[in-house]
Amino acid sequence: MPILEVKELKAYYITEKYGRLYRVKAVDGVSFQVNKDEIYGIAGESGCGKSTLLKAVSGLLKPPLQVLEGEVIYNFGDDVLNILSLKDDKQRRQVRGARISHIPQGSMSVLNPVRRIKKAFQDLIRAHLGSMERSRFEEMVKKHLDALGLDWSIMQAFPHQLSGGMRQRLTIALATILKPDIIFADEPTTALDVVVQRGVVQLIKKIKKEQQNTLIMVTHDLAIHANLCDRLAIMYAGKIVEEADVDVIFNQPQHPYTLMLLKSLPKLGDKSIRVSAPGAPPSLIHTPSGCRFHPRCPEATAHCRRENPELLELEKGHRVACFLKGGC
């Protein structure tokens, strides 16, 4: 049994402006499974719906975001949970932060600027473990901070007094202190400088190994996927277009979009100018007919313009959504 199973998930932003309904089809029929202990990567240009997918999967649904279809099932071993069908928001809250946690984007100001860091830990721990004695709380946090190479003294600081890298380490500490079963990391290294980025990736890797949680890593940075993930899904315009083991994606990519992404990566020793992916990602309000990638696809046929290819298994563990690669 996979620890996370997402079935035909559709999550749209539905807004109304001057009496007209706008539907941003940010996640449009996405299915995938993540196995326990695995690192599952999700890649794709910005705006393709990665963050929205994470929100929907963790049940963070706030207008205008709505789930129209689909199921998200967690199997924690001792407990199977269909998070979208939970009637009670309280139950969802109990899962979030404790059994599934988030490491948000590095640039994000995810800590309340007017409260001390310590409060963030207090709030989190109190929400999930109830109130505890101060000494026990301090001991617990100290131990965890030690393991992450952070100093207790930052607990008294306000967020603006810390560097971006430090803040990101703190959010990693927050996301892991309750030893969650699944960690969702959404662009955790974006907006950090390269040296700090490496440190953050190493830290995530280290904790994951110690706590043996499952990690879902979302980033547009393929280099990070290459040296971190076990499996990788490529997303384009609200859909997964290819999914396989990481080395399969990098060595035998099948989908034209994956090829395009890989071509834009710099290679060691190669001095030729990299072509960045030509064209722009489509609007998610007025999505192209047929295959959403066809306007940018060098090999598109008339069939591609009419019909939408399904994500089908090409060989074991390698799924592709393309008519040219045996799709139908």
Partner 1 sequence: MVFKKYFIPRFIQYITVLLIGITMVFIIPRLLPSDPVEHQLNRMTAQGQYLDPAAVEEMRETLQELYGLKGGLFQQYLIYWKRLCTGNLGPSFTQFPTPVIELIKTSLPWTVGLLLVSLMLSWLIGTILGGIKVSFPNSLLTRFMEVFAMGMRPIPYYIMALVLLIVLAFVFPVFPMAGGYSMGAEIGFNFKFLLDLLRHAFLPILSMVMLEIGGWFLQMRNVASNIVEEDYVVYAEASGLPRRKVILHYIMRNALIPQITGLALNLGFIFGGALITEIVFSYPGIGNLLYSAILAGDYNLIMGINIFSIVGVSTAMLVIDLIYPLLDPRVRYQ
Ligand X SMILES: Nc1ncnc2c1ncn2[C@@H]1O[C@H](COP(=O)(O)OP(=O)(O)O)[C@@H](O)[C@H]1O
Q: Least distance from C-beta 249 to partner 1, angstroms?
A: 28
Token pair, residue 212, equals 């043996």
Cα-to-chain-centroid distance, residue 164: 20
- Binding mask 243-282 toward ligand X (x if CB under 6 A, else -) reads ----------------------------------------
In degrees, to the nearest 5, what angle opens at C-alpha 186 toward C-alphas 183 and 187?
Answer: 130
Site for partner 1, residues 172 to 211, rule: CB under 8 A: 174
Nearer to ligand X, 47 or 106 (CB): 47
User: Which residues between 16 and 45 bind ligand X (CB under 6 A)?
Assistant: 24, 26, 44
Strands ordered across the beta sheet of 239-245: 100-103, 182-186, 214-218, 39-43, 231-236, 239-245, 318-320, 312-315
Of 111 and 314, nearer to partner 1 (C-beta) is 111
280 binds partner 1 (CB under 8 A): no
C-alpha torsion angle, residues 154, 160, 163, 165 (rounded to 10): 80
Tell me which of 35, 60, 64, 280 binds ligand X, using CB under 6 A: 64
Reported in sequence order, the residue ranges of 76-172 that DSSP labels E, i.e. its strands, are: 80-82, 100-103
C-beta of residue 70 within 8 angstroms of C-beta of residue 52: no
Closest CA to 190 of 102, 101, 107: 107
| Smallest gap from residue 298 Cβ to partner 1 (A) | 38
Binding mask 131-170 for partner 1 (x = CB under 8 A): ---------------------------x-x----------
Query: In whole angstroms, how far apart are CA 140 and each of 122, 146, 172, 178, 291?
Result: 11, 10, 15, 10, 51
Q: For binding to partner 1 (CB under 8 A), which residues are involved?
A: 58, 60, 62, 89-90, 92-98, 101-102, 104, 108-115, 119, 123-124, 127-128, 158, 160, 171, 174
Q: For binding to Mg ion (CB under 5 A), which residues are involved?
A: 51
Q: For binding to ligand X (CB under 6 A), which residues are involved?
A: 13, 15, 24, 26, 44, 46-52, 64, 284
